[in-house]
Amino acid sequence: METTIYNQKGESAGKIKVPESVFGVNWNADLVHQVMTAMLGNERTPVAHTKTRGEVSGGGKKPWQQKGTGRARHGSTRSPIWVGGGIAHGPRKDKNYSRKINRKASTQALYVVLSRKFRDGEILFVDNLTFATPKAKDAKAVISSFSKIKGFEKLATKPKNAALFTINNKYPELTKSFGNFGNVAIEELRNINPLSILNHKYIIITDPKESLMALEAKKK
């Protein structure tokens, strides 16, 4: 499998072979759904919390006698049918939504979504992306250049989650330059996962040779 590499100006800079084991995997909806659901659950922090009838105050005395009043029978004002009573089957913050994700399953799901993005023409390989000093002006020029590439026109106009730039090492100049753009994210390649990829329209992979080696090493 072969694809085009582009430079920082959006011009073609040659070709590169991409591993079929990473970018040629068949779509597996069940695996992706399983991993995505587990990841979203692991990120979830329950906040909503209701009290049961055993936790609300009051209700120690029977409201009225069982018979003879003509009214319905009640044993406590803490019952869920009373105003101020406990909540039946309400949300509880002590519920644990986290799930275990096997490393092999997570890695395979990553390859599946990368392959889907690659087939859809939504992955761009850039030979090198560096800035001498942090400048939003330079970052805007890069986005404008990449949006002129066929298939990446929405990069400059999509208001949210337009692109995810992957880098191999921490580059403060790069991170700060794109910091003012709410539709673009910068993330180290070793930290990408199926969730971060599917949350963005385009994936921009910098330093392709080193990045491809790192992606292949994930399955070992």
Mean pLDDT, residues 16-38: 95
Report the interhelical angle of 29-43 vs 103-119 (nearest 10°): 120
30 and 60 housed in the same domain: no
Per-residue pLDDT for 55 more than 90? yes
Residue where a domain terminates, one of 96, 116, 137: 96
| One domain, residues 59 and 70 | yes
If asked whether residues 11 and 109 sit together in one domain, one would say: yes
pLDDT tens profile 63-115 = 999 999 999 999 999 999 999 999 999 999 988 889 999 999 999 999 999 99
| Number of folded domains that form the chain | 2
Do 16 and 3 form a contact (C-beta atoms < 8 A)? yes
Bridge partners, 205 (sequence order): 125, 166
Over residues 132-147, mean pLDDT: 91
At residue 220, does pLDDT exceed 80?
A: no
Task: Write the pLDDT tens digit of every residue in 157-184.
Answer: 899 999 999 998 888 888 899 988 989 9
Q: How many CB atoms lie within 10 A of CB 68?
A: 7
Look at residue 21 in the predicted model and tell me its pLDDT. 92
Mark whether 33 and 91 lie in a shared domain: no
Last residue of a domain, one of 66, 96, 126: 96
For residue 218, what are its two tokens?
Answer: 């994930």
Does an H or E element contain 116, and which?
helix 103-119
Domain region containing 10: 2-44+98-217
List, edge to edge, every strand of the sheet that includes 12-17.
Answer: 12-17, 2-6, 123-126, 202-206, 163-167, 184-188
CATH number, position 130: 3.40.1370.10
Q: Are residues 13 and 51 in the same domain?
A: no
Shared domain check, 109 and 37: yes
Backbone angles phi, psi at 49, to 5 degrees: -150, 125
pLDDT at 132: 85
Residues 105 and 89 in one domain: no
Q: Are residues 84 and 125 in the same domain?
A: no
